[in-house]
Amino acid sequence: MKHYSEEDLVLHYYGEDRRAAEVERHLQACERCAATYRDIAGTLAMIAAPEAPERGDQYGLEVWQRIRHKLPEQNRSWFFVLRSSFGAVLRSPFDSGIRSPFERRTQNAERRTAFALAASVAVLVVAAFVVGRVWPRTPPIKPAEQTASTDAARRVFVASVADHLDRSARVLTDIMDTAAAGDISAEQQWADDLLIASRLYRQDAVDAGEQSVADVLDEVERSLIEIVHSPSRIGAADLEQIRRRIDAAALLFKVRVLSDDLREREQTPDAARPRTSMRKTS
């Protein structure tokens, strides 16, 4: 008789197994699995959700008072500003959904400002067209266009690598935090998922001349490979060895510094271009 694993029975308890009826029939017939299931269910039934202390109706206001002075400047792209401006002009005066006279006045003011901005842009577009027609023809300035599109691509790259580094840092932190030798299959699965992305980003970094980013990604990749290729039920010695390598390379620190660095560059368009070297990390 085929028995169900603890994992299968946990999924059954939470109603997440696809063969619920089959498992149920088996539990009727198999005392061994039924006993394990009773243990699991009995233990989980003891764990009741903690009652969160009550928060009153004014709680939202309290939170707001605590955070309002800490709110940073939001990063708004030109595309967003233009889109919202044109959106404000094109919006029907009857579809606002705003009810109070104050809000209506505010919206009218917004619409006037937006209209002025949209009109200015339209005038500029027409002027540019006319000037373009009468101006002596010169070869298109390809390098400038190329720079703009390269910058956009670089910003996307910077943001993606920063996200990737944050995820990698989590796996590494998990490995560093694991209490003792044991099952690391969850971390391995996660590291495996990250590995392919890491290779692609490293290649992109090399192509983009971001050598310092490529170097850190290379180190991350080596640690991820080591984690993936370790036994799932890792022994204390193997675990300690992985940790020592992560520690010796100050890898977590480098990953966090680089991630912060990239986030900073992401916020500052001019700074999205490659830096010759990363901030000193050791």
Partner 1 sequence: MDATEAAAVLARARQGDSEAFRALVGQHSRSAFRLAYRMTGNEQDAEDVVQESFLRAYRQLGRFESRANFGTWLYRIVANCSVDLMRAKQARHDQIRGDSLDAVPDLEEQRAAGPERLARSAEIGRRVQRALEDLSPLERAAFTLRHYEGRSIDEISRTLGLGTSAAKHSVFRAVKKLRLVLEPLRGQS
Does residue number 133 form part of the binding site for partner 1 (CB under 8 A)?
Answer: no
In three-state form (DSSP H/G/I as H, E/B as E, the rest C), the secondary structure along 69-133 is HHCCCCCCCHHHHHHHHHHHHHCCCCCCCCCCHHHHHHHHHHHHHHHHHHHHHHHHHHHHHHHHH
Does residue number 63 form part of the binding site for partner 1 (CB under 8 A)?
Answer: yes
Contact 255, 163 (CB under 8 A): no
Query: In this chain, which stretch among 71-79, 125-133, 147-155, 238-246 interacts with partner 1, using CB under 8 A?
Result: 71-79
How many binding residues for partner 1 (CB under 8 A)? 54
Contact 169, 252 (CB under 8 A): yes
Query: In this chain, which stretch among 36-44, 144-152, 204-212, 238-246 interacts with partner 1, using CB under 8 A?
Result: 36-44
Among 246, 258, 244, which Cα is nearest to 216's? 258
Give the residue with the Cβ less far from partner 1, 150 or 173.
173
Does residue number 233 form part of the binding site for partner 1 (CB under 8 A)?
Answer: no
**Of residues 76-95, those binding partner 1 (CB under 8 A):** 76-77, 80, 84
Give the C-alpha separation, 43 to 110, whole Å. 59
Going from the C-alpha of 83 to that of each of 80, 86, 103, 148, the distances in angstroms are 5, 5, 21, 20
Does residue number 241 form part of the binding site for partner 1 (CB under 8 A)?
Answer: no
Question: From the CB of 47, what's the least distance to partner 1, in Å?
Answer: 5
Among 206, 148, 154, 198, which Cα is nearest to 172's? 198
Give the residue with the Cβ less far from partner 1, 16 or 270.
16
Does residue number 70 form part of the binding site for partner 1 (CB under 8 A)?
Answer: yes
Question: From the CB of 156, what's the least distance to partner 1, in Å?
Answer: 12
Q: How far apart are the first and last CA of the chain?
A: 59
Query: If you ran DSSP here, which 8-state letter would residue 138 be given?
Result: -
Does residue number 16 form part of the binding site for partner 1 (CB under 8 A)?
Answer: yes
Does residue number 69 form part of the binding site for partner 1 (CB under 8 A)?
Answer: no
Give the residue with the Cβ less far from partner 1, 172 or 205.
172
The residue ranges that bind partner 1 (CB under 8 A) are: 6-7, 10-11, 14, 16, 39-40, 42-44, 46-50, 52-53, 55, 59-64, 66-68, 70-72, 74-77, 80, 84, 96-98, 167, 170, 173-174, 177-179, 183, 185-187, 189-190, 193
